[in-house]
Structure 1
């Protein structure tokens, strides 16, 4: 969900940008799903930042699906949020399905368990969708067959349906935490060797995912001389695109004649500190 991602970017924005009192276009109220595309290590950091920010800043209950056990928060995240309270972390539930079948079963069970749960989740996160779609050692889409595309569509439809169901439930309970947001990360095969915003358009699974997710957040590493000369460990461009961004920008255009920002930069310093800047 773009309001969560935008909140993350603003919360960890550079002091220079904070002093400018920059205005960020709010997302369309109907925009509830976002697809984070790019390198799996940096996308996981963004997902964890989103989970922590949603829990600590907005009091949301978060459900985080991933195949890889998370024993502790990454060093970069601990640098950004050094005083995170245990109570906030308790709002984040990590679930570790091993296969796409287990993930489908756990997502489908949300329709049952929430009937007795006092606080349904307001944010669902799925880390590394390609790992579920491609099985053990996933992440390579060479020779993608129609079955994988069909599975991607089935899983995406179920995730979106579950988020819509939870949104209805939250509204029934007059919760201020509605709607239920959905953020999923995906790394295409081409992302490992080419710039993601150019190569990802050729991925057949990504073409399927784009039909279901209203916003794409593309992570593209900056390997320029300027980034290296600035003494950064890593630098990334973040591009926001999709129907959700278009709707939000169009609404803002009607009000003040200007479009909303769609590009950010992420700087990771040698000490692990992460900083976002508006482009």
Structure 2
């Protein structure tokens, strides 16, 4: 699993889990891309938490792409980190693109970012991929790459190629370089009629480029109400980018290797993560 999400989950761990002696396992160099699949607003909150965690605690430059303007940070972040350093937040560059073409141009433009920033970004975030793949009325965006699958593959390939290119620049720019990562969110369509199965095809296209899938699944039991919570979400990790030590069966001491977490959402907006 990508180290940025691991670091964030550990940082926002529930009080019960935070008392444990946990150490984050460094990721393998090839583990660079994560696709967060699930509810839109929750996905954006996780992306923003990841961006602020990367900038403020890991001291890396972040580029955050979105179609709609972000007005404020998540309540959870405001409560847990009330005094975020303005200088740290300057490491996050928010870029807004209305169409797929604009997004492709802006991502491709990161190759030239060295003329503006002395250090290349180490994290590329794209919020709500589905917004770029569909037009305002929900129609399939055709553009220069007909069909949603072609658009998804073209965008994913560009993101991964750009991350690889920036990783090479980071090796030249820093004394202790780390690979450039990509984290994006995507909400599949609800299957209906003849369109059933389209979402799975798009996820198949994404999976060819994103090495780890992070699936958000809402708990439908009475667990949240019984614990006085607003919601409980299961967070599952899968994909070729997950590296587990075959000799290790106890993941409790290795959150970097854990494949399942729970996200606890409180009535006041606070979010906490715990190992499962």
TM-score, length-normalised on structure 2?
0.89
Question: 1:146/1:97 Cα in 2 relative to 1: closer, same or farther (>3 Å)?
Answer: closer
Deviation, 1:15, is 1.6
Deviation by residue 1:191-243 (Cα, 9 ceiling, x = unmatched)? 9xxxxxxx999521111001000000000111211222211111100001111
What does 1:166-185 align with in structure 2 at a 5 Å threshold?
166-185=166-185
- RMSD over equivalenced CA pairs, Å: 2.3
Residue 83 in structure 1 maps to residue 83 in structure 2: yes
Question: 1:171/1:76 Cα in 2 relative to 1: closer, same or farther (>3 Å)?
Answer: same
**Do 2:188 and 2:199's aligned partners in 1 also have CA atoms closer than 8 Å?**
no
Residue 236 (structure 2) aligns with: 239
State the SS of the aligned residue for 1:185.
strand
CA distance in 1, matches of 2:214, 2:5: 9
Q: Which runs of 5+ in 2 are unaligned?
A: 252-256
Residue 94 (structure 1) aligns with: 94
State the SS of the aligned residue for 2:246.
helix
Which one of the candidate residues 203, 206, 209 is aligned to 1:209? 206
Question: 1:10/1:123 Cα in 2 relative to 1: closer, same or farther (>3 Å)?
Answer: same
Deviation, 1:113, is 2.7
**Do 1:24 and 1:261's aligned partners in 2 also have CA atoms closer than 8 Å?**
no
Residue 195 (structure 1) aligns with: none
Residue 53 (structure 2) aligns with: 53
**Do 1:45 and 1:74's aligned partners in 2 also have CA atoms closer than 8 Å?**
yes
CA distance in 2, matches of 1:16, 1:48: 24
CA distance in 2, matches of 1:211, 1:122: 22
What does 1:179-194 align with in structure 2 at a 5 Å threshold?
179-190=179-190
More moved, 181-190 vs 114-123: 114-123
CA distance in 1, matches of 2:84, 2:128: 25
Which one of the candidate residues 248, 253, 271 is aligned to 2:246? 253
Deviation by residue 1:70-103 (Cα, 9 ceiling, x = unmatched)? 1221223211221211111111010000000000
Residue 230 in structure 1 maps to residue 230 in structure 2: no
Question: 1:61/1:212 Cα in 2 relative to 1: closer, same or farther (>3 Å)?
Answer: same
**Do 2:7 and 2:24's aligned partners in 1 also have CA atoms closer than 8 Å?**
no
Which structure dedicates a bigger proportion of its chain to helix?
1
State the SS of the aligned residue for 2:154.
helix
